Amino acid sequence: MNDARDREIKESNRMRGKKHLKTTQEISGIVKEYYREREEKGRQPGQKIAWCGIAVPKQPLQAMDVLAYYPEQYGTVVATRGDPQRFIQVAEDFGLGREMCGYARITTGYILEGLPEDAPLGGMARPDMLITTSAVCDTRVKWWELMGELLEVPVFILEFAEMPPAGRDGAHINPEDMENIGIQIGRDDAPHTIEYTWENFAGYIAFLEEVCGRPTDQDRLDEITRASKRVSRIRREINEYRKNIPTPMGAADAFAAMFPGTYLPGTKMADEFYTRLRAEVRERMENRVGIVPEEKFRLVWSGIPFWYNMGLLNYFETRGGVVVIDTQYGCAALTSGNPLREPKRWGPNGMVASVVKAVIDYNCDGAVMSYTPTCRALYIVQQEIQNTLMEELGVPSLLLESDMVDASSFNEAQTMSRIDAFIEVVMEKAKERDWLPDPPPRYGPGE
């Protein structure tokens, strides 16, 4: 790609996201500190470093003092703070197709460039091991195997048993809601999948112990697991407050706020961060402080956001709308924090159900979906979500096609005109509501 085209992409496709809460403004510093600390500790003799897929349970890594980097998360760092095209181009010249996950192309390009020190936030330190899961997509398995060959380090794939949403213990799914609208609910009792999951977790722990050369400190792991559960509980409580009208916190802030809970779940820092955030969200809720002066329509975001263009979320605010909740990292993603005993429950039915449930629970008038052809796992199901929302609830939705980090796949003019047309439809839909303009306050659970 020539320089002029490169510049054009960088300048035209970026709208920075605007956060509305004080606490979420801290995230940029937290992410910088995360990379600084890893760079510093990573230089100490004997320190083990792992590059992990996002769904890898973090608690065993923390208990073993393994420094973890998450290549998908680093893809978002490059997309928001750097020049994703720099690494994407290298990966494509190597032979990865443009149809492949943008995160995988960025990381592969970064490796092929020799882990350059001038990469955003100093990059990721060279790993001793690579760990990922079979969860959600097949790309990640092949991507990790390729990285293992390029970096010449051992790779461990944690196989997850994937089940349809269970309902009763799936936390985010109410079986009656789903069954009423014809979505199949999976079985609760599947001992063979639980056994399979346990065996695979045992293999994961054994792999960590072998690479680190020491046994797991079980007491420490239990303590970190308890701390993770507390963090998940606080995050769920925050999400309850977000159901209020007007919502005290939207997805523009929430996408930023996911970082500590997702990547550092059992830490004091995460606990303190979400405790501060909960206090701020609750105060805004009690004082009925919303994101826009008059909340005219409410939206759900389904899928991964376009990290190079987070300002898209704020664009709805210029017309009185708020993206209230997302289902990728928001309501559906907060499990109980027990890393060792639960088969993962996801798959197409679960994804459809989580968006339907979010529309109902958060009183939304429409859904915006990132339609990412480079992520088959999420792409295929979005159409089904769109059909279900319209057929079962009469709720309109909008599919926006682009990769999540490859800005060259984003067509700004087309996207903005489609959003403008969609807003007109949603505002009509919102007029059916009887809670506007002065809804009664609704409250989430207390302390």
**Measured distance CA(174)–CA(179) in Å, rounded:** 9
With binding defined as CB under 6 A, does residue 410 bind ligand SF4?
no
Listed residue (370, 382, 365, 373) closest to 423, CA to CA: 365
Among 90, 101, 125, 211, binds ligand SF4 (CB under 6 A): 101
Q: Could you give the angle at the alpha carbon of 346 between the alpha carbons of 345 and 352, nearest 5°? A: 130
Closest approach of Cβ 182 to ligand SF4, in Å?
26
Per CB under 6 A, the list member of 140, 242, 284, 357 interacting with ligand SF4 is 140
- 334 sits in the region (left: phi over 0; alpha: psi -120 to 50; else beta) called beta
Taking the complex as a whole, the smallest distance from the CB of residue 137 to ligand SF4 amounts, in Å, to: 3
Task: Answer whether 9's CB lies under 8 Å from 408's CB.
Answer: yes
C-alpha distance from residue 409 to each of 71, 237, 307, 340 (Å)? 20, 36, 13, 39
What is the 8-class DSSP label of residue 230?
H
Minimum CB distance to ligand SF4 smaller for 140 or for 282: 140
Query: Which of 132/225 has CB closer to ligand SF4?
Result: 132
Find the binder of ligand SF4 among 47, 139, 262, 411 (CB under 6 A): 139
For the record, the structure tokens of 121 come out as 């936030």
| Residue 377 in contact with ligand SF4, rule: CB under 6 A | yes
Each residue 146-185 as x (binds ligand SF4 by CB under 6 A) or -, in order, gives ----------------------------------------
Q: Smallest distance from the beta carbon of 306 to ligand SF4, in angstroms?
A: 12
Q: Find the shortest distance in angstroms from Cβ 145 to ligand SF4.
A: 13
Binding mask 63-82 for ligand SF4 (x = CB under 6 A): ---------x----------
Question: Please, what is the minimum distance in Å from the beta carbon of residue 262 to ligand SF4?
Answer: 13
**C-beta of 377: minimal distance to ligand SF4 in Å?**
5
Q: How far apart are alpha carbons 340 and 265 in whole angstroms? A: 15
| 55 is a contact residue toward ligand SF4 (CB under 6 A) | no
DSSP letter, residue 389: I
Q: Give SS3 for 161.
A: coil
Nearest to residue 239, comparing CAs of 199, 281, 292?
281
Spell out the alpha helix ranges (H) of 242-347: 251-263, 268-286, 311-315
| 155: β partners | 130
Per CB under 6 A, the list member of 52, 137, 310, 398 interacting with ligand SF4 is 137
Span interacting with ligand SF4, options 19-27, 295-303, 347-355, 373-381, rule CB under 6 A: 373-381
Query: What's the angle, vertex CA 283, arms to CA 280 and CA 232, rounded to 5?
Result: 50
Stretch that binds ligand SF4, among 80-88, 133-141, 333-341, 406-414 (CB under 6 A): 133-141
| Rounded-to-integer distance, Cα 400 and Cα 22, Å | 30
Whole-number minimum distance, CB 102 to ligand SF4, in Å? 7
Residue 103 touching ligand SF4 (CB under 6 A): yes
344 binds ligand SF4 (CB under 6 A): no
Would you put residue 28 in left (φ > 0), alpha (ψ -120 to 50) or beta? alpha
Binding site for ligand SF4 (CB under 6 A): 72, 101, 103, 136-137, 139-140, 304, 375, 377-378
